[in-house]
Structure 1
Amino acid sequence: MSASWLSYLKEYQNYLRLERGLSENTIANYSFDIEKLVAFLVTNSIQESPLTISEVTVQQFIYEIASQVNARSQARIISGLKSFFTFLVFEDYRKDFPMELIEVPKVGRKLPDTLATSEIDALIAVIDLSTPEGERNRAMLETLYSCGLRVSELISLKISDLFFEEGFIKVTGKGNKERFVPIGSNTVKYISLYQNTIRNHLKIQKGFEDTLFLNRRGKQLTRAMVFTIIKDLAEKIGLQKVISPHTFRHSFATHLLENGADLRSIQLMLGHESITTTEVYMHLDRKFLAEVLNSFHPRK
């Protein structure tokens, strides 16, 4: 397998492990689907990377496996490929979705579970505020949800990025692209409380003086630590969903959409390079869209 395919496959495996919470056996099955595609490319001397492979090439691969495996296996392989390319689109590595024209079987683009506002409230309510970490964790979760941040953006957020008087924070996203995201008064309150009562008592390590959210040793938090914090809170309230920091970002976008925000505004706040990525949220809740139609269309 080429270095390009191997690199993106490893990142995809980490996504399945951390954000989707899948078992190692399931991750191996998903990986096997990608390996089958790569083997097809090698056999046919096709020089295409995960970022450049075309719809035509993927279609050729699907035609070939259709003659080799039964319908159930074919459906599973297509589902695995859709999951992989959906990951690349969500992570802004690709602007297009090369599985778009493959209609059989009808496998939708799988998104992580979305949290209801009541579930977000419940998660925040069980945070133990008697500990220094509790105040920090409440501020982090409020920021994740109210600003729609990626976990990498959250842990690298700087104090110098906070423009509370103007009502914005500056976020550094993928490719060091900067964007300004509105921040609500409640989130400002919780961040300020954390700064003034917890953070200013920490012994901050050199190089992390401007990092907003710190661990107890005065250093930047890791992605894994934020995953663990959220997983533990979900267990405390008995939440029957597999959630991750990214779930808060999905919930942010979904709730904005459901409450009437336009896709262009959501795109800017999420920092998606292409609105195609944001448009995936239109597929999130068809029941909700049907209710909108029935409520507001003149010929309902």
Structure 2
Amino acid sequence: MNWQQSLKDYKLFLKIERGLSENTIINYGLDIAKLISYLDLNAVEASPISITKEQLQEFIYTYAKELTASSQARLISGLKGYFEYLVFEELRTDNPTELIEAPKIGRKLPDTLSEEEVNQIIDAIDLSTPQGERNRAIFETLYGCGLRVSEVLNLKLSDLFFDEGYILVTGKGNKQRFVPIAPVTQKYIEIYRDEIRIHESPKPEFKNILFLNRRGAQLTRAMIFTLVKQHTKKAGIKKKISPHTFRHSFATHLLQNGADLRAIQQMLGHESITTTEVYMHVDRSHLAEVLNTYLPRK
């Protein structure tokens, strides 16, 4: 794999999977372009697959030593995101930036939808078509189970353990976990499966895939992203929303309604509890309410 092709694929991933703006994608691309330029200039033999932590540290030291703390953090964040992408796509087994620390400048919280906004987006779906029933089931699953878009796309009929109240989810690195499914989410999946999908003719290789397109094939990330954008606009919501926003909202709403952070971590499939904390949009008023409710000393 060469750097230029890898960078091109990464930008496409940021656009389709992450739903980032063109300017943001350009900025992320510049981070990797700076690394490529440094390697060329210094005749460093390293590919996206073979580059080491030490080589990256040398680049950061050389390039970033004159930058402000926020600019350094921005550069390191860009590199981390790129190598996380390579791991996600199973092009690398490790992230060489994992132990490289950025200056502490605070952490930006992800955007979320309110419970009302989630309802507005789902209510905007046209249920008069078979695709409408499918789209509702997809949105309900994205939000109601807190899944990544890739996890929804890869859900199989054989992964549905409705009698037990769970679905089997295959996450990053092919790691599997059982995720509880709420009755309302199960209901809409069953409507799609039993009333719509049963009349479709899936291609042989997609017979076990739950969500299909009109041609009987597996849906793509780009299609889910487009559906979310279309229905967000139709609902009159001005926020920048991607499929991943439903996952953020799922975690946030659970925490705000009293769920345990450890339980949320398990449902999201996070290795570390610190990763789960990024999703938590708990405002100060909620924290004060928790304090006043549960502190024993009155």
> TM above 0.5, one fold?
yes
Sort the Cα spacing of 1:205 and 1:141 in 2 relative to 1 into closer, same or farther, 3 A: same
Q: Distance in 2 between matches of 1:262 and 1:100?
A: 29
Residue 186 to residue 16, structure 1, CA distance change in 2 (3 Å): same
1:250 partner SS: helix
- Structure 1 Cα separation of the partners of residues 257 and 9 of structure 2: 33
| Aligned equivalent of 2:64 | 65
The answer to whether the 8 Å contact 2:7/2:29 transfers is: yes
Q: 1:66-105 counterparts in 2 under 5 A?
A: 66-67=65-66, 71=68, 75-76=70-71, 78-85=73-80, 94=95, 98=99, 100-103=101-104
For 1:96 and 1:80, the matched residues in 2 are separated by 11
For 2:144 and 2:200, locate their aligned partners in 1 and report how far apart those are by CA, in whole Å.
26
Q: For each residue in 1:207-237, what CA deviation from the matched residue of structure 2 results, as whole angstroms up to 9, or x when unmatched?
A: 2222111111222111111111111001101
Q: Does 1:291 align with 2:292?
A: no
* Alpha-carbon distance in 2 for matches of 1:7, 1:66: 29
CA-CA distance at 1:131 after TM superposition: 0.8
State the 1:116 CA deviation.
Answer: 1.0
1:52/1:183 CA distance change after superposition, 3 Å: farther
Cα pair distance change 1:278/1:34, threshold 3 Å: same
Q: Distance in 1 between matches of 2:141 and 2:164?
A: 16
- 2:277 aligns with 279
SS in 2 for 1:113: coil
Aligned-partner residue type, residue 80 of structure 2: F
Partner of 2:267: 269
Return the offset for 1:24.
Answer: 3.2
Alpha-carbon distance change, 285 to 222 in structure 1, aligned in 2, over 3 angstroms: same
Aligned residues of 2:72 and 2:103 also touching (Cα < 8 A): no
Distance 1:51 1:17 in 2: 26
- By how many angstroms is 1:167 displaced? 0.3
Aligned-pair CA distance for 1:123: 0.4
Aligned-pair CA distance for 1:125: 0.5
For residue 79 of structure 1, give the secondary structure of its aligned residue in structure 2.
Answer: helix
19 and 261 in structure 1: CA distance in 2 versus 1, 3 angstrom threshold? same
Separation in 1 of the partners of 2:23 and 2:273? Answer: 34
1:165-215 deviation per Cα after TM superposition (whole angstroms, max 9, x unaligned): 100111112222221110111111111111222111112222222211111
User: Any stretches of 5+ residues in structure 1 without a counterpart?
Assistant: none
Measure the CA separation in 1 of the matches of 2:130 and 2:110. 30
Q: Is this contact kept in 2: 1:5–1:50, CA < 8 A?
A: no
Residues 289, 281 of structure 1: alpha-carbon distance in 2 compared, 3 angstrom cutoff: farther
Secondary structure at the counterpart of residue 30 of structure 2: helix
Q: Secondary structure at the match of 1:127?
A: coil
Matched with 1:150 is 148
Tell me the equivalent position of 2:180: 182
Cα distance change of structure 1 residues 49 and 102 upon mapping to structure 2, 3 Å threshold:
farther
Deviates more, 1:82-91 or 1:273-282: 82-91
Within-5 A mapping of 1:183-262: 183-262=181-260
Structure 1 range deviating more: 110-119 or 238-247: 110-119
* Residues in 2 aligned to 1:248 and 1:141: alpha-carbon distance in whole angstroms: 8
* Deviation sequence 1:73-106 (CA, Å, 0-9, x none): x744532432552575697665985564513xx2
AA in 1 matched with 2:33: E
**TM-score (structure 1 length as normaliser):** 0.80
Deviation, 1:12, is: 4.2
Alpha-carbon separation, structure 2, partners of 1:141 and 1:234: 11
What TM-score do you get using the length of structure 2 for normalisation? 0.80
Following TM superposition, by how much is the alpha carbon of 1:58 offset from its aligned partner in structure 2, in angstroms? 4.6
The alignment yields a C-alpha RMSD, in angstroms, of 3.5
Q: 2:117 corresponds to which letter in structure 1?
A: E
Size of the aligned set, in residue pairs, is 290
- SS in structure 1 of the partner of residue 177 of structure 2: strand
Contact 2:206 2:218 in 1 (8 A): yes
Deviation, structure 1 residue 23: 3.8
Amino acid corresponding to residue 238 of structure 1 in structure 2: G
What CA deviation, in whole Å up to 9, does each residue of 1:240-273 have, x standing for no partner?
Answer: 1111111111111222222232333222211223
Amino acid paired to 1:245: P
Distance in 1 of aligned mates of 2:51 and 2:260: 30
Look up the match of 2:11.
13
Q: CA deviation at 1:47?
A: 6.6
